[in-house]
Amino acid sequence: MTKKQNLSHKQTRAFQPEKLSKPRDFILPEVIKNAKAHRQSLVLEIGAGKGKHALLFAKANPQKQLIAIERTRNKFEAFAKLVQVQNLANLTAIHADAIAWIVQAIAPNSITQIYLLYPNPEQHNPNQQWLNMPFFEFLLSRLQVGGKIILATNIERYIDNAEEQARELWCLPTVRQEVAIDSQRTHFEIKYLARGQTCWQITMTKPEGYQTRFDDWQALSSL
C-alpha cells in the first residue's frame, strides 16, 4: 500500500489486504494464469448463490472467462453440481469468502466486469453493504479502466445508499435503472419480481486515470 496522494475517491479508511490470511486450500485457478495469454476478459461474480446467473452468463459469453464465488456451503454445492453437469469451459466456481479470495487471486487492473446481484446483507448493519466497505477500494483496483461493477437489489434503501456512495465517495460515473419485470437472472430476482416488487440496478464504470492505494498491490500467489 503506497500511494497516498492523488486518490480518485474520498475514502479515508484504508482496507488492509496484508492482514487477511489465505483461504484454506487456496489454489490459483489455471484460468487466471491463462487469461492473459489467451486474451480472454475476466469477469467476477461475488455471492453467486446457486449459480443461475453464472451459468446463463457463461453460456451467453463464451469468449469471457467468469469466476463466480459463493461462500455458503449448501448453495455452493448446488452450484458446483450444475457446473459439473453443464461443463462450461469458461466458468469457474469458487467456494470461498470473496474478500480473502480476491485479495489472494486477482491481479490489479485485470477484471472487466464484476457482478454483485442481490447481496442483501442484514439490513441493520450498513457496514456490510459493499459500497460502505473499505474493501471496495481494493475491488476497484482490480478493475480495468472502463470496467464495470453491476449491483442489483430489491431494497430501495440499499440502492439509494449504493448510488450515493458510488457518486459521492467513490467518484464513479453511475447509471441507475429499474430491472425489467421479466428479468430472470437469479433465483432472488425471480422471487422478488414475481411478488411484484421493484428491483434496481446500478452500473458503475472505472474512469481513465482512476487511482487507488492498491494499484500496485499484488499477493505473491497471484503473480
Ligand X SMILES: C[S@@+](CC[C@H](N)C(=O)[O-])C[C@H]1O[C@@H](n2cnc3c(N)ncnc32)[C@H](O)[C@@H]1O
Q: Which residues bind ligand X (CB under 6 A)?
A: 46-49, 69-72, 75, 97-99, 117-120, 186-189
Angle at 105 between CA 45 and CA 95, to 5 degrees: 55
Q: How far is the CB of 74 from ligand X (least distance, A)?
A: 9
- For ligand X, the closer CB: 48 or 105: 48
Q: How far is the CB of 189 from ligand X (least distance, A)?
A: 6
Task: Give the residue nearest to ligand X (CB).
Answer: 47
Q: How far is the CB of 207 from ligand X (least distance, A)?
A: 26
- Grid cell of 59 as nine digits: 453460456
d(CA 208, CA 147): 10
Q: How far is the CB of 39 from ligand X (least distance, A)?
A: 28
- For ligand X, the closer CB: 117 or 219: 117
- For ligand X, the closer CB: 188 or 210: 188
Q: How far is the CB of 16 from ligand X (least distance, A)?
A: 16
Contact of 7 with 169, CB cutoff 8 Å: no
Q: In what order do the strands lie in the sheet with 91-95?
A: 91-95, 64-70, 41-46, 111-117, 143-153, 200-205, 174-178
DSSP 93-124: EEES-HHHHHHHH--TT-EEEEEEE-----TT
- For ligand X, the closer CB: 129 or 210: 129
Q: What share of the chain is helix, strand, coil (3-state, %, to 5)?
A: 35, 20, 45
- For ligand X, the closer CB: 112 or 120: 120
